[in-house]
Chains A and B, each alone.
Chain A
């Protein structure tokens, strides 16, 4: 039995074949070629930038924008290439706004650039429904909020923004026609970010009980519930690790001096043991449920 288990878990031998090597060299040559060419063009314009007329400066960026737009609309291409082209288009919108701000010295606050950028690309983001582009859009929104001069840095605000986005992506497909269901990796990323933010806020919060803390705990509990319901093992594990950290912090807050940490070492080890066992049990249960579901789907198809 011991020998059987050892043989079962031997790592697979993987090798790149002729076709994979060909593709690798082609992709490497293409990426290096495009990267060098674009960098060279950017440096060329950077060197000559001061000498260029303002219309030429904006004209160059606008021409690139229009060319990309024409490519998206007119050129037949695969969906994933179209999505990447739309992504490039959205980035060029930002470049145009930056050049416009520089040429006319508008004196606007930096958050206005990102606000304008987000508003200009929102239609494209919704149309493309490409999740890396959604991530980019979310980062623009968060950056816009963070750069508002009157807003002080507060993790709780970002927790609320992420929560709103998570709720939107979870429920939007039910209410908005043609809105796709967010892929698992995307929702896992959002859930894990929410969990980590909630735990970080709790660690640095001075008060024992406060309305903010109650909201944080509620959001944190919901992330655990969501991971459990969706059978998301990574999200659930992050939630469980967070529980350990929260309990640890609670002990330190309650007792108040470092020597007391003696008393929580052993219970902590026991907690890790039982938590590991719990996650393994959940993994087995969820895997058997998904196997049953896939088998029943195959039977239905037949």
Chain B
């Protein structure tokens, strides 16, 4: 059975961003009209409608060559089918199935659909949905632990990102499906990691997690910071070994990197932002660099805001930090000469 993407052999045109916009918004509008259409039917009839719609859309991607036709019809059909499938699951589940069971079923359905689908854009959308839904499978209303899972999931996603760097396209044959989805996996991993890291920070600000990420208390959030900083140091060390081993500046660079990683341990959010920056810049993923940069600014602002010291001492600390970084900049300039 063929699992590779089908390209539009009649047109031979790869989707550009304007076209992706057209099919995305056009698909959303079509989805909304179809949802209204299907709400007209009774609950009894709509039981299997959702699954039928999803199966039909996947079959369409396998038998039709025309990409525009697939994106006009199959793409909205698939996601409307998913909404209806969820409605059906809620109806038959009633109170017996918990929220995370429903999410598990969704993830399974999406994984199977992604496996059999042969349209590149649809597979990209399904992959993003899978990345976002996976940690929600562990949600349990009875305890508060699941909020921590968001942060660990973000670390795991950066691990996935690092694996795509280690196992890049040059290691595989050009016909390998994985090589065509490396940019998609990186995009989904970076976006979801930052999204979930941001969510865990918001929960702290809202006061849902009282202990583990509160920056004022020594020992809380240290494990997460150390894991991220260690990960960053390993990546940086591997890069420096490849580029600079044997040169006289190698030791200085390692020392500076170690200093930077230790400094990032003050807050797990800063550590994860630094990790993201290093990984995304390694492959010149400017979208990833931009979102990690923005998250770093956010993490630094939250850290300084939450510091339980007077404003005047915060200003001294900020000025001191500024002087330190400017000294590092000056030192690096000297080193490069």
CA distance A2 to B182 in the complex (A): 21
- Say yes or no: A21-B329 contact (C-beta < 8 A), given A41-B319, A268-B30, A275-B22: no
Q: Does A53 touch B at the CB level, under 8 Å?
A: no
Q: Does A302 touch B at the CB level, under 8 Å?
A: no
Q: Does A44 touch B at the CB level, under 8 Å?
A: yes
Give the contact stretch, choosing among A5-13, A57-65, A71-79.
A5-13
CA distance A36 to B324 in the complex (A): 10
Interface string of B59-72 (1 = CB under 8 A from A): 00000000011011
| B282→A36 contact, CB < 8 A | no
Q: Does A80 touch B at the CB level, under 8 Å?
A: no
| B318→A39 contact, CB < 8 A | yes
Q: Does B156 touch A at the CB level, under 8 Å?
A: no
Q: What is the interface of chain B mostly: helix, strand, loop, or mixed?
A: helix
Shortest CB–CB separation between residue A1 and chain B, in angstroms? 7
- Say yes or no: A279-B22 contact (C-beta < 8 A), given A33-B329, A244-B29: yes
* Chain A residues positioned under 8 Å from B149 (CB to CB): none
CA distance A15 to B26 in the complex (A): 36
Give the contact stretch, choosing among A22-30, A81-89, A117-125, A129-137.
A22-30
Q: From the candidates A6, A18, A238, A240, name the one contacting B174 in the complex (CB within 8 A).
A: A6
CA distance A16 to B236 in the complex (A): 12
Q: From the candidates B7, B26, B332, name the one contacting A25 in the complex (CB within 8 A).
A: B332
Q: Which of B56-103 contact A (CB under 8 A)?
A: 68-69, 71-73, 76
Q: From the candidates A18, A245, A264, name the one contacting B33 in the complex (CB within 8 A).
A: A264
CA distance A277 to B13 in the complex (A): 10
Shortest CB–CB separation between residue B179 and chain A, in angstroms? 6
Give the contact stretch, choosing among B189-197, B207-215, B219-227, B308-316.
B308-316
| A47→B68 contact, CB < 8 A | no
Give the contact-size bracket for chain A: 35 or more
Q: Which residue of B lies closest to A237 (CB)?
A: B18
Give the contact stretch, choosing among B34-42, B43-51, B123-131, B140-148.
B34-42
Q: From the candidates B18, B297, B316, B323, name the one contacting A33 in the complex (CB within 8 A).
A: B323
Q: Does B203 touch A at the CB level, under 8 Å?
A: no
Q: Which residue of A lies closest to B329 (CB)?
A: A29
Give the contact-size bracket for chain B: 35 or more
CA distance A244 to B182 in the complex (A): 33
| A279→B19 contact, CB < 8 A | yes
* Chain A residues positioned under 8 Å from B314 (CB to CB): 40, 43
Shortest CB–CB separation between residue A33 and chain B, in angstroms? 3
| B318→A40 contact, CB < 8 A | yes
Q: From the candidates A16, A36, A44, A237, name the one contacting B21 in the complex (CB within 8 A).
A: A237
* Chain B residues positioned under 8 Å from A22 (CB to CB): 332, 336
* Chain B residues positioned under 8 Å from A244 (CB to CB): 25-26, 29
Q: Does B162 touch A at the CB level, under 8 Å?
A: no
Give the contact stretch, choosing among A93-101, A143-151, A211-219, A255-263.
A255-263
Interface string of B1-34 (1 = CB under 8 A from A): 0001101010111101111011101110110111
- Report the 9 A-B pairs with minimum CB-CB distance, sorted nearest first: A37-B322, A40-B318, A40-B319, A33-B325, A237-B18, A36-B322, A33-B326, A43-B315, A272-B26
B residues lining the A interface (CB < 8 Å)? 4-5, 7, 9, 11-14, 16-19, 21-23, 25-27, 29-30, 32-34, 36-37, 40, 68-69, 71-73, 76, 168-170, 174-175, 179-180, 182-183, 239, 243-244, 277, 281-284, 297, 304, 310-312, 314-329, 332-333, 336
